[in-house]
Amino acid sequence: MRFHDTLQRRWREHGTLVCVGLDPEPAKFPAHLRGRPDAVFEFCAAVVDATADLVCAFKPQIAHFAALRAEEPLERLIAHIHARHPGVPVILDAKRGDIGSTAQHYAAEAFERYRADAVTLNPYLGRDSAQPFLDRADKGVILLCRTSNPGGADFQALDCGGVPLYLRVAETVARDWNANGNCALVAGATWPEELGQVRARAGDLPLLVPGIGAQGGDVEAVLRHGLTADGGGLMISSSRAILYAGGGEDFAQAARAATIALRDAINRHR
Ligand SMILES: O=c1ccn([C@@H]2O[C@H](COP(=O)(O)O)[C@@H](O)[C@H]2O)c(=O)[nH]1
């Protein structure tokens, strides 16, 4: 099934806009897991199994695995999600972007090696750098637009013919890059007014919204500015505040409780 259809189904049938980010940091793992040879997989799989019924997507961030030489556990984790929780899409947060010939290999990495349903891309290199991803109509292509970090405005807010660059990105992706109906945008929860500007330019394109939880984004403001008319359109992502909600042997149950709290906080404002 196409990524956008799977996502729509999760929003509609499961009543959740929560995306759980999978950003393993072994120093924060509970003591009983630390030092175990397969700790990265065990930790992430336990959180996945405890939260899968509550989410619209999972978002593993690739650097958190690659830095630990844990690419093989990441492959197994995504295979585990597909096998145990079919219908929950996996967004590989890789923020790729390179010349077209190299981008083909990044697309193969995301979709063939890791079997992700969607991937994040940096649009800075332009259309040809995204084309190998855009051509995969079954897969989601999520372009960085207005990122959540403090320095996001350094370039994204620069004037670009009367509009800031990030709105040019939103317009261009929605109008020109979305021929296969498989595009989405990243708009950080930490800049809710800008997120609203992105929504106004991008129509009903799905928005991946990081910045809730550890980065301090405000759920109510995100919903006020970002919801589509049908009360959806958002993948509101939280990683650390869910993964490390508890530090003991019951870490997965603590992650579940934090996910329920976020889902319910979101749904109160929909
Ligand atoms: O603009 C962006 C784009 C991506 N991210 C990623 O999302 C998570 C956020 O983690 P938290 O622990 O919920 O703060 C992380 O993987 C980032 O690389 C982002 O934060 N902002």
Write down all domains in the chain, each with its CATH number in brackets. Answer: 3-268 (3.20.20.70)
- Output the pLDDT for position 170: 98
Residue 147 Cβ < 6 Å to ligand 1: yes
The mean pLDDT of 230-240, rounded to a whole number, is 97
- H or E element: which one contains 18? strand 18-22
Closest ligand 1 atom number to CA of residue 214: 14
- Output the pLDDT for position 220: 98
pLDDT band at 248, cuts 50/70/90?
Answer: very high
Nearest to 115 by CA among 97, 134, 139, 151: 139
- pLDDT over 70 for what percent of the chain? 100
Nearest to 251 by CA among 45, 22, 30: 30
Encoded tokens for 63: 């650097």
Residue 6 Cβ < 6 Å to ligand 1: no
ipTM over 0.95: yes
- Which of 28, 59, 95, 139 is flagged as catalytic? 95
Return the residue matching tokens 């929003």: 11
- Output the pLDDT for position 266: 98
What's the rounded Cα separation, in Å, for the pair 94 and 61? 6
The mean pLDDT of 236-254, rounded to a whole number, is 98
For 195-207, the pLDDT digits (tens) are 999 999 999 999 9
pTM of the entire predicted model: 0.98
For 84-141, the pLDDT digits (tens) are 999 999 999 999 999 999 999 999 999 999 999 999 999 999 999 999 999 999 999 9
Query: Would you list the DSSP string of 231-256?
Result: S--EEEEESHHHHTS--STTHHHHHH
The mean pLDDT of 246-258, rounded to a whole number, is 97
Per-position b or e across 26-47, b if 16+ CB within 10 A of its CB: eeebbeebeeeeebbbbbbbbb
In terms of Cβ atoms closer than 10 Å to its own Cβ (0-12, 13-18, 19+), residue 77 is: buried
Residue 237 Cβ < 6 Å to ligand 1: yes
| 95 classed as catalytic | yes
